[in-house]
Amino acid sequence: MSTWQIARLVAAKDLRVEWRSRVVTNQVLPFAALVMVMFAFALDNDQALTRVAPGLVWLAAMFSLLVLVQRAFAVETADGALDALKVAGVRSSGIFLGKALALAAQLAVLEAVLLVAAILLYRTEVPAGGVGVLLATYVAATAGLAFVGTLYGGLAAGARGRETLLPLLLLPVVAPVLIGATRATEAALGTNDAMPSEGWPWFGLLALFAAVFGAGGALAFGSLIDD
Amino acid sequence: MTTDTRSERRPTSTTFTRWLGAAVLAGLAWLALFGLVLSPNDRVQKTGVRILYIHVPTAWLAYLAFIVTGVCSVGYLWKRSRNLQWDRVAGASAEVGVVFMGITLVTGMLWGKISWGTYWTWDSRLTTTAFLFVTYIGYLAVRDLGGTHHQRARRSAVLALLAVLEVPLVHFSVKWWRPLHQQESVAEGKLNGLMMFTLFVGLVAFTLLYVWLVLHRQRAMAMDDMVADQGLDAALAERREEAVR
Amino acid sequence: MIAMENAAYVVGSYVVTLGGIAAYAWVVLARARRAARQVPREDRPWT
């Protein structure tokens, strides 16, 4: 079986598990929406909210990423499913891509909801010229977050105290995504009179990030989960 | 007899590390004397320059320590034989690096308060350094996850190599985010002879200190590994006896 | 050194650096001593 076929099977399995358990729709999405409301309480200023809305969207996405990654690997380690896959000789790069794909699909839904919430709650608007940058940023940032999340989630999986270890490992690594995606989204939304064209270099950073950790993860994932 | 009790009190010492330790102590005393008393104030930075004599060497040594960790991680993964010695030096070096980096951040803040009037600015160098610090704290946490020695070694070696990918990305994104950054904090060639000499003394003293710390720490880690192996052997023997009974 | 400007900051940074290193060195040696109780001398390759 090719790596790609394995990836598709693993991703389909993960998404099916999520679909049946409804954890993402019933727990993670409400959590993310709640975070957006809490930001409004904390800042308590409509103009400030509009100004920092892009950053808040991505910050909430990152917190939700932590929850999603924990969940994605709790499913695998609960009854030794990951060990079974390894014993069966399934190529680890395929597992990595598959899990990242499933994580990316969930993240994509989540980020879309967050973005809509920001537009509704924080009085931001998407100008027609910014749609392209916004979509590109959305895709690249989601890919980058999914790769890094899968990589470090696999590292922390099965270890005692992983709930506390994962944020410590993951948050410093995703900092470039937070910076890049926030600046690109600001450009797309015209926050602080930014022009949409200013967002493209940041998109480049996000794409580079996704490429580096996608390749690095496919190579390294095997030795991380292989115990 | 005397050597016996001595080596039990300092089990990781050898003749070499004792001489090295003496040289480190002499170097640090010499540095404090030059840095606090003998060297003159800088025209621009005034007394602030005195902090740089310890701040700059600890910062450089912390970076060097993390580079050594990366190189030793490659060393571990490179050969099929998987020598744990590489892993222990990588771990010891990272630990020393975290200590040095923590100290560097504190002294840097004190220096910033004098020179810039504020403890912290979000320039790329400071922010990257803070991220490095957190990243290697995470690395040390991963080393403590448990499992066999080789599991630990492989996991942490891969993580150290991922950090090598991460650090440039963080650095450039922060640099891009805040393009205006403060003037170079290291001397711009304006230090006079005595000042340069003091800085040099600091650099030598801290380099020797780094070697001393890594040697001792790495030997302590080797003994920890042996103790863990003994525990495992004992547990296995116990099981075997139970089975016989 | 006497009547130095910002003396608290300068001396403080030396205290933090040298004190921090001394504390760490002590911890390293103490951990080595604890481990050494269970490792016989002939098993230590450096002695």
Q: B141 — contact with chain A (CB < 8 Å)?
A: yes
In angstroms, the CA A74 to CA A64 distance is: 15
* Cβ within 8 Å, pair B138-A176: no
- Cβ neighbours of residue A17 closer than 8 Å, sequence gap 6 or more: A75
- Inform me whether the C-beta atom of residue A144 falls under 8 Å from chain B C-beta atoms: no
In the prediction, which pLDDT does B207 show? 95
Whether B13 is covered by a domain: the verdict is no
Query: What is the percent of chain B where pLDDT is above 70?
Result: 89
For B42, the 3-state DSSP assignment is strand
With H, G, I as helix, E, B as strand and everything else as coil, classify residue C40: coil
Q: What is the pLDDT of residues A39-57, one digit of tens each?
A: 888 988 888 888 888 899 9
The Cα–Cα gap between B26 and B77 comes to 38
Of B162, B169, B176, the CB nearest to A220: B162
The chain B residue lying nearest C2, using CA atoms, is B37
Give the mean pLDDT of B49-60: 88
A-B C-beta contacts closer than 8 Å: 69
Q: Are B112 and B120 in contact (CB under 8 A)?
A: yes
Task: Return the residue of B nearest to A202 by Cα.
Answer: B173
Taken in order A32, A38, A43, A48, the sign of the CA dihedral is positive
Q: pLDDT tens digits for A4-50?
A: 888 888 888 888 888 888 878 888 888 888 888 898 889 888 888 88
Beta-carbon separation of A179 and B177 below 8 A: yes
State the Cα–Cα distance between residues B119 and A181, nearest whole angstrom: 28
What three-state secondary structure class fits A160?
coil
* Residues of chain C positioned with their CB less than 8 A from the CB of B113: 9
* Band of pLDDT at residue A100, cut at 50, 70 and 90: very high
- Position B25 in a domain: no
- Does B96 have pLDDT greater than 80? yes
- Asked if the model's pLDDT at residue B1 lies above 60, the reply is no
Given a cut of 80, is residue B39 above it in pLDDT? no
- Per the domain annotation, does B2 fall within a domain? no
Q: Is B44 helix (H, G, I), strand (E, B) or coil?
A: coil
Query: Residue A158: what pLDDT?
Result: 64
* pLDDT one-digit tens code per residue, B201-223: 899 999 999 999 999 999 999 99
| Cβ count within 10 A of residue A154 | 27
The pLDDT of residue B7 is: 55
Does B9 map to a domain? no
Q: Got the DSSP string for B174-197? A: HHHH----PPPSS--S---HHHHH
Which partners does chain B have (≥3 C-beta pairs < 8 Å)?
A: A, C
Q: What is the pLDDT of residues A65-83, one digit of tens each?
A: 998 998 888 877 777 777 7
pLDDT, one tens digit per residue, over A184-195 is 998 888 887 778
Closest Cα in chain C to B27: C18
Q: Are A39 and A114 in contact (CB under 8 A)?
A: no
Range of the domain at B81: 47-244
pLDDT of residue A12: 87
Contact across the interface for A216 and B169, Cβ inside 8 Å: no
Distance separating alpha carbons of residues A137 and A121, to the nearest angstrom: 21
**Mutate which of B15, B107, B210 to disrupt the C interface (most C C-beta within 10 Å)?**
B107
**Local structure of residue A196 (DSSP, 8 states):** G
Nearest CA-CA distance, residue B229 and chain C, Å: 11
Contact partners, residue C29, CB within 8 Å, separation at least 6: B10, B12, B216
CA distance A22 to chain B (A): 31
What CA–CA distance (Å, rounded) separates B194 from B198? Answer: 6
Q: Within 13 A of B156's CA, how many CA atoms are on the CB side?
A: 36
Q: How far apart are CA B177 and CA A55, in angstroms?
A: 13
Residue of C nearest to B209 (CA): C21
Structural domain includes residue B122: yes
All residues at 6 or more sequence positions from A153 whose CB lies less than 8 Å from its CB, including other chains? A69, A70, A72, A73, A99, A166, A170
List the chains bordering chain C where 3 or more Cβ pairs fall under 8 Å: B
User: At how many degrees (to 10) do helices A46-78 and A29-43 cross?
Assistant: 150
Of all residues in chain C, the percent with pLDDT exceeding 70 is 87
Nearest chain B residue to A173 by CA: give it.
B166
The closest CB to that of B135, out of A172, A180, A216, belongs to A172
How many structural domains are present in chain B? 1
Paired tokens of B180? 């205006």
- State which of B60-69, B106-115, B226-235 shows the largest mean pLDDT: B60-69
Q: Would residue B237 count as lying in a domain? A: yes
Q: How far apart are CA B65 and CA B136, in angstroms?
A: 11
Tell me if B60 is assigned to some domain: yes
State how far residue A26 is from chain B, nearest Cα, in angstroms.
32
